[in-house]
A and B are shown apart, each in its own frame.
Chain A
Amino acid sequence: MKKKRVKTHFWSGNEACVEAAMAAGCRFFAGYPISPSNEIPEGLSERLPQVDGIFLQMEDELASIGAVMGASWAGWKAMTATSGPGFSLMQETIGWGFMTETPCVIVDVQRVGPGTGQATRGAQGDVMQARWGTHGDYAAIALSPNSAQEMFELTIRAFNLAEKYRTPVILLADETIGHVREQVSTPPLENIEIVNRKKPKAGDKVFFGLEQVAPMPTVGDGFNVAVTGSTHDEYGVRFTQDATVHRRMIEKLNAKINNHADEIVEVEDYNVDNCKVGIVSFGCTSRAIYEAVELAEAEGIDVGFVRLKTIWPFPEKPVRRLAESAKKIFVAEMNLGQVKREVERVACQSEIIPLTKIGGGELITPEELYAKIVEGGK
């Protein structure tokens, strides 16, 4: 008998995302072509039909995310992949998904914006859009991979969180991570933890608005579920005038995510309790941290870092912990300071020094980060 073992692959981040979606049990994809995400639909158009899954290329991003929501209510794990302009078009429906508690995964392989920007060049400018992109009071979950390996792991985690909390989850990748081709190790499928949504029992009638996450029926199963993006009560019945019903529902839906931030938040950290200088970064930019830390330590600088694998809910506790020892915190990102604002919000006692770079997909190098630390440390 062949022994099950860890397999090694040479995948791009986008390819790793495809295989992770398959492993997570995704059976439906709908999308619209956009650089630099295209390897994800191309891969899934081949892989999904092999397992009786369905791939659809829709007329636009509005249709794509709409079909994904429908597939989720039809009982299948579903996803889409896009980039900035498409992500903008999907925002209204992402809000609908939050309101109706529809699990699904949206991969945003970030590129330079705003507008059409630079279609094939990487950026990290959609951080705030992933949190505040749709209107109204809502909570978002967004994950940020920094390697092809993590694209695999966090795609699976995105599906698991979506199913567990019954909400859209955003995988906030970027062009660099989508296209970097490197070693990816995958465990045997049976060793991967897969979460599936809670299903209702016969006679259940409450399908919405519970902080502990209500069971989710599938259309056609006889539950006569009324799903609406308008304010509704726990039974799904629309209440568009009543303040109490709206408050109750929105507070519960936000609490469903915010009160479980400790479980949702994942970071990689290093020397956070004993450092004088801290670094916060995420995604492709965070690949510069390790070498910059080596360079700084060689010069006798006490440096620690927090790398955000979860970006929303914002990892407040890990960043606060870093701020307790680090008097200066450097925030490196490929935008004009979106995560910096969050770090300032939660770590106000430290001096927050941004290191930003935008355009052309140019990465922040370890040397630049190191130089900033030396300069800022004076």
Chain B
Amino acid sequence: MRDLRLPFCPGCGLFSLSNTFLRAVYELGHENFDKFCFTSGIGCSSWIPSPYFKADSIHTLHGRSIPPATSIKLIHPDLNVVVFGGDGDIVGIGLSHFIHAARRNTDILVIMGNNMVYGMTGGQVAPTTPLNTRTSTTPYGSFEHPLDATKLAVAAGAAYSARWTTAHLNELKESIKKALQTQGFRFIEVVTHCPTAYGRRAGFKNIGEMLKYFKENAVTVQQAEKMSPETLERKIVVGEFVSRRRTTLVEAVYAKLKEAKVTGKQDGD
């Protein structure tokens, strides 16, 4: 870490997420970030690596963290390229990059801190806000269905997709470790408590209440399979949604580079 004060509000779930990520990396035997490169967009979660991690970090525009991660990984396949972003960044404004990166099986790990709201800008409704939640732009309660990003990653072709909450830090840590050792597109959604911009309007008195809500309403992927869509509506499904092996983008591109040497013409005229 750089010697800088972290920017998060008191009680923010992103402290837990940062800490858990660092712990996972350390437990995998990394003493520093020499083998890592981080990219992030705009939003609270995007501040996790930039500039606080003593690492190479590319802090891009809102929603645009995945495309540079793609080219960096292709040019430096030896680096662990990790993207940090919030729900607005990754599956709001940047959704198409997310889907296409999963489709390509781009060799990057995307960690999405989902606080279910646009936190940095003052708590506006997000594509992930649960139905009927009061936010700063839905004073009568939100009226749109939220997006299930973890499921979407599976459908789009991710090699690994999992969801945890800030009430499941041990599971999250093990999940990050597993994802860092998996090839291809890996996605971890972390439902995180945002007392400042989400909790107080959504009706939570304190952080403890939010964490309790996460714990009590979390059901595992296996349990969820046996439940009806109606009963699942207010639940948070946690666990690994997929863990599989598919040809990755790096493997595919480098295989084509070999082919081009054999078949391509060498002179441009």
Report which A residues bind B (CB closer than 8 A).
7, 9, 18-19, 22, 28, 30, 46-47, 49-50, 52, 54, 56, 58-60, 62-71, 73-76, 78, 92-93, 96, 217, 219-220, 222-230, 236-238
Q: Is the CB of B71 within 8 A of A62?
A: no
Q: Is the CB of B59 within 8 A of A224?
A: no
Contacts A220-B79, A227-B59 hold; do A63 and B100 have CB atoms under 8 A apart?
yes
Q: Is the CB of A73 within 8 A of B68?
A: yes
User: Closest CB of chain A to B31's CB: distance in Å?
Assistant: 13
Q: Is the CB of B264 within 8 A of A50?
A: yes
Q: Is the CB of A56 within 8 A of B70?
A: yes
Residues from chain B with a CB closer than 8 A to the CB of A64 are 67
Further contacts, 17 of them, CB under 8 A, given A66-B67, A70-B39, A228-B50: A49-B256, A54-B253, A62-B67, A63-B66, A65-B67, A66-B64, A67-B67, A70-B69, A70-B70, A71-B68, A71-B75, A75-B75, A96-B64, A219-B37, A220-B79, A227-B56, A229-B60
Which residues 126-176 of B sit at the A interface, judged by CB distance below 8 A? none
Q: Is the CB of A226 within 8 A of B71?
A: no
Contact of A70 among B58, B257, B261 (CB under 8 A): B58
Contact with A along B34-75 (1 / 0, CB 8 A): 100101000000000011001111111101101111111011
Q: Is the CB of A224 within 8 A of B61?
A: no
Bound-complex Cα distance A292 to B138 (A): 64
Bound-complex Cα distance A226 to B256 (A): 32
What are 28 A-B residue pairs whose CB atoms fall within 8 Å in the complex?
A9-B269, A19-B268, A22-B268, A28-B75, A50-B264, A50-B266, A54-B71, A54-B257, A56-B70, A58-B100, A66-B60, A67-B68, A70-B72, A71-B68, A71-B75, A74-B71, A74-B72, A74-B76, A76-B75, A93-B61, A93-B64, A219-B56, A219-B76, A224-B54, A226-B56, A227-B57, A229-B61, A236-B51
What class of interface size applies to chain B in its complex with A?
35 or more
Which residues 85-105 of B sit at the A interface, judged by CB distance below 8 A? 96-97, 99-100
Bound-complex Cα distance A217 to B56 (A): 10
Question: Is B9 among interface residues, defined by CB-CB distance under 8 A?
Answer: no
Residues from chain A with a CB closer than 8 A to the CB of B264 are 46, 49-50
Residues from chain A with a CB closer than 8 A to the CB of B78 are 220
Contact of A219 among B63, B66, B74, B79 (CB under 8 A): B79
State the majority secondary structure of interface residues on B: mixed
Residues from chain B with a CB closer than 8 A to the CB of A73 are 58, 68, 72
Question: Is B33 among interface residues, defined by CB-CB distance under 8 A?
Answer: yes
**Can you name the residue of chain B whose Cβ is closest to the Cβ of A65?**
B67
Contact of A224 among B33, B58, B265 (CB under 8 A): B33
Bound-complex Cα distance A19 to B18 (A): 46
User: Closest CB of chain B to A103's CB: distance in Å?
Assistant: 14
Q: Is the CB of B59 within 8 A of A228?
A: yes
Contacts A52-B257, A54-B75 hold; do A66 and B4 have CB atoms under 8 A apart?
no
Question: Is B6 among interface residues, defined by CB-CB distance under 8 A?
Answer: no
Bound-complex Cα distance A206 to B99 (A): 37
Bound-complex Cα distance A49 to B69 (A): 20
Question: Is B260 among interface residues, defined by CB-CB distance under 8 A?
Answer: yes
Bound-complex Cα distance A93 to B58 (A): 13
User: Closest CB of chain A to B6's CB: distance in Å?
Assistant: 12
Bound-complex Cα distance A50 to B263 (A): 9
Q: Is the CB of B61 within 8 A of A92?
A: yes
Residues from chain B with a CB closer than 8 A to the CB of A75 are 75
Q: Is the CB of A228 within 8 A of B51?
A: yes
Bound-complex Cα distance A75 to B56 (A): 13
Q: Is the CB of B71 within 8 A of A28?
A: yes
User: Closest CB of chain A to B236's CB: distance in Å?
Assistant: 29
Q: Is the CB of A238 within 8 A of B67?
A: no
Contact of A226 among B50, B63, B260 (CB under 8 A): B50
Residues from chain B with a CB closer than 8 A to the CB of A66 are 60-61, 64, 66-68, 97
**Can you name the residue of chain A whose Cβ is closest to the Cβ of B63?**
A62
User: Closest CB of chain B to A25's CB: distance in Å?
Assistant: 14
Bound-complex Cα distance A228 to B268 (A): 38
Bound-complex Cα distance A58 to B260 (A): 20
Contacts A66-B67, A69-B68, A70-B70 hold; do A222 and B51 have CB atoms under 8 A apart?
no
User: Closest CB of chain B to A245's CB: distance in Å?
Assistant: 14
Q: Is the CB of A50 within 8 A of B261?
A: yes
**Can you name the residue of chain A whose Cβ is closest to the Cβ of B76?**
A220
Contacts A226-B51, A229-B61 hold; do A54 and B260 have CB atoms under 8 A apart?
no
**Can you name the residue of chain B whose Cβ is closest to the Cβ of A225?**
B56
Which residues 244-269 of B sit at the A interface, judged by CB distance below 8 A? 253, 256-257, 259-261, 264-266, 268-269
Q: Is the CB of A30 within 8 A of B75?
A: no
Bound-complex Cα distance A30 to B74 (A): 12
User: Closest CB of chain A to B137's CB: distance in Å?
Assistant: 23
User: Closest CB of chain B to A345's CB: distance in Å?
Assistant: 31
Residues from chain B with a CB closer than 8 A to the CB of A52 are 257
Residues from chain B with a CB closer than 8 A to the CB of A60 are 96
Bound-complex Cα distance A164 to B37 (A): 25
Bound-complex Cα distance A28 to B67 (A): 13
Residues from chain B with a CB closer than 8 A to the CB of A222 are 34
User: Closest CB of chain B to A88's CB: distance in Å?
Assistant: 15
Q: Is the CB of A56 within 8 A of B71?
A: yes
Residues from chain A with a CB closer than 8 A to the CB of B76 are 74, 219-220
Bound-complex Cα distance A35 to B167 (A): 51
